[in-house]
Amino acid sequence: MWFKLLKGRHIQSEHGKDVAYRRGDVIESDRRLDRLFPNKFERVSGRRAVGRKRVTAGKTSDAGRASESPSDKVSGRNVTGQFAKARNNDLTVYRAGARYTVLADGQEVYSGDTKKAFVAWLNKYAEV
């Protein structure tokens, strides 16, 4: 099945690499993305061309940890999936040890040393 990304970004693993898609890209998936992410995807019939692809986290190890990051400034594991507010606001969250770093459109917007401080920042960010 083919799906068009209507807003924000979407990251999925393909052939051992995390690939980021942007608004307007067309993604092939055997999962019903339009149902998993309401209002973010639209199912497209008969479309064979795939939209732009951009590698964002490089090869992954057996443990699923990224060996490369999307920015030279960012290291750690992508933990965006653990924070619904981050996903809903199209943010990407990385964790290295106790440190959290957040990217918005590839630019660092937050970096802090504790989960508590990060969650407080995220709650304020999500209110806006």
Domain boundaries, the chain: 1-61, 69-128
Instruction: Say whether pLDDT at 96 is over 80.
Output: yes
* Rounded distance between C-alpha atoms, residue 30 and residue 53, angstroms: 18
Of the pLDDT bands very low, low, confident and very high (cuts 50, 70, 90), residue 12 is confident
Share the mean pLDDT of the chain: 74
Instruction: Say whether pLDDT at 5 is over 80.
Output: yes
Average pLDDT over residues 85-93: 88
Q: What is the pLDDT of residue 118?
A: 92
Q: What is the pLDDT of residue 7?
A: 85
Average pLDDT over residues 42-54: 55
> Dihedral of CA 111/115/120/122: which sign?
positive
Average pLDDT over residues 109-127: 86
More confident residue, 113 or 51: 113
What percentage of the chain carries pLDDT values higher than 90?
14
